[in-house]
């Protein structure tokens, strides 16, 4: 248990003792008026790794010098480039290399996986999900339900927080699954809620979903690269994620998919097939009749997206450098706890709860994000932070999301953010 202090010397001492402190120098920070931002928006778009240009230029040079032969020539032929990423992706989500694959973008992958794993019947046709999920998930699920001829109002069950609460109790999620079990075809949750930063108990959700006979999948947009995951051991059926948030692979970066190996021998699983998912050893025979490649690679549709994969590869090498997720999680828990402490100190000094935290206080129920609601003038406060080189994220109608990413944020960042919240809070009290 660390006894936090609300002063610069304490924050600097914590940074000096941080085993990940050198990683901050591996990233490029946006600047304003000649000064770098305190960047607390990695939950929306991660910072650019300095090595990204080098890795991308390698592939641009391959394109220049090899042209079409780049698919089979050079140090990392494009035909097999995705395999370089698979071995680095697997530890981040707790899977085998065979169970993961980089491809497409997140919502495209969500649709492709739902084609395979949302198989409604007359009895089982409902999907259970979190209320307030990110809109793309809502739209994807709604359209899949309609595609199968069902009314979303009847086929989608949304589990909402109890009156007055901002987050979901695990017991309520499990009860909703059990209560509707005989009608549920698919349980599809986010790993972390984008709005509140709540980390869901994916292991318990998966276990309960399977007990009632449902398939269980997760959108890990806010979880992959943020918190440790054990998708294989938890027996999750499928998952997908983007790479541009906590994995720092650039705007619109390549997505990743997970399919549990227990499904690989099931030849009856339908899928939308494409050439790149065809059995690799016979791919260039150009024959009719789709034969999927083994593992998650068999869900590929289009050929390797080399440039986005190069950016993802650059970032994944930094995860490998620190030993993947455990060091990040250890720092993340302390960093977010310090942000909780600082915000509470600000409220104490203001004499009121000017900034209400809606992220779970339990460190095991959150990732690297703290969401706050300002008592008044929320957008004005957010704009004040940005003007003074603190860049978080504003979400309508009244939430400021602050995401201290352990890979590149510091305890000093958190302390300085608290100073700004206090100053703007005092100015509002004096108005």
Residues 95 and 229: their CA atoms lie apart, in Å, by: 9
91 and 226 together in one domain: yes
Summarised one tens digit per residue, pLDDT across range 216-241 is: 999 999 999 999 999 999 999 999 99
Residues 6+ apart with CB under 8 A from 171: none
Last residue of a domain, one of 298, 322, 346: 322
Instruction: Give the CATH number for residue 93.
Output: 3.40.640.10
89 and 23 together in one domain: no
Residues 6+ apart with CB under 8 A from 9: none
Nearest to 401 by CA among 194, 135, 224: 194
Residues 6+ apart with CB under 8 A from 120: 126, 148, 150, 155, 185
pLDDT for 431 = 62
Structure tokens given for 85: 């990423």
Instruction: Give the CATH number for residue 348.
Output: 3.90.1150.10
pLDDT for 261 = 98
| Pairing assessment for the beta strands 35-36 and 31-32 based on DSSP bridges | antiparallel
Nearest to 357 by CA among 242, 198, 244: 198
Which residues of the chain, if any, have pLDDT below 50? none
279 and 350 together in one domain: no
337 and 416 together in one domain: yes
pLDDT for 428 = 78
317 and 347 together in one domain: no
Residues 358, 167: contact at Cβ < 8 Å?
A: yes
Number of compact structural domains in the chain:
2
203 and 314 together in one domain: yes
Radius of gyration of the chain (CA): 23
Say which DSSP state 66 is in: H
Last residue of a domain, one of 322, 338, 354: 322
- Range of the structural domain that residue 97 is part of: 55-322
pLDDT for 386 = 96
């Amino acid at each position: 248990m660390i006894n936090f202090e609300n002063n610069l010397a304490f924050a600097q001492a914590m940074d000096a003792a941080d085993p990940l402190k050198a990683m901050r120098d591996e990233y490029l920070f946006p600047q304003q008026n000649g000064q770098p931002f305190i960047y607390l928006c990695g939950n929306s778009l991660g910072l650019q790794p300095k090595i990204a240009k080098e890795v991308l230029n390698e592939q641009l040079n391959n394109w220049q010098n090899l042209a079409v032969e780049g698919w089979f020539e050079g140090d990392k032929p494009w035909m097999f480039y995705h395999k370089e990423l698979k071995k680095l992706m697997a530890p981040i989500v707790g899977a085998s290399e065979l169970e993961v694959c980089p491809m497409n973008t997140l919502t495209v992958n969500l649709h492709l996986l739902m084609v395979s794993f949302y198989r409604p019947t007359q009895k089982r046709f409902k999907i259970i999900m979190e209320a307030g999920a990110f809109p793309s998930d809502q739209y994807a699920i709604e359209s899949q339900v309609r595609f199968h001829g069902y009314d979303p109002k009847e086929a989608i069950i949304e589990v909402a927080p109890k009156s007055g609460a901002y987050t979901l109790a695990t017991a309520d999620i499990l009860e909703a699954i059990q209560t509707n079990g005989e009608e549920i075809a698919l349980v599809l949750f986010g790993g972390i809620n984008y709005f509140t930063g709540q980390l869901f108990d994916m292991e318990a959700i998966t276990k309960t979903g399977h007990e009632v006979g449902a398939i269980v999948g997760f959108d890990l947009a806010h979880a992959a690269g943020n918190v440790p995951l054990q998708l294989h051991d938890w027996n999750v059926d499928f998952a997908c994620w983007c790479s541009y948030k906590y994995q720092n692979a650039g705007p619109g970066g390549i997505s990743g998919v997970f399919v549990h190996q227990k499904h690989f021998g099931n030849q009856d699983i339908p899928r939308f097939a494409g050439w790149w998912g065809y059995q690799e050893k016979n791919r260039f025979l150009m024959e009719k009749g789709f034969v999927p490649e083994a593992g998650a690679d068999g869900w590929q549709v289009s050929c390797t997206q080399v440039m986005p994969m190069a950016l993802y590869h650059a970032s994944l090498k930094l995860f490998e450098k620190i030993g993947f997720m455990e060091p990040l999680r250890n720092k993340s828990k302390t960093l977010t706890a310090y942000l909780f402490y600082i915000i509470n100190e600000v409220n104490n000094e203001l004499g009121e709860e000017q900034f209400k935290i809606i992220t779970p206080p339990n460190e095991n129920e959150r990732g690297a994000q703290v969401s706050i609601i300002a008592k008044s003038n929320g957008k004005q406060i957010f704009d004040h932070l940005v003007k003074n080189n603190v860049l978080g994220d504003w979400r309508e109608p009244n939430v400021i999301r602050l995401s201290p990413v352990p890979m590149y944020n510091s305890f000093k960042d958190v302390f300085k953010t608290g100073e700004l919240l206090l100053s703007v809070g005092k100015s509002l009290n004096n108005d």
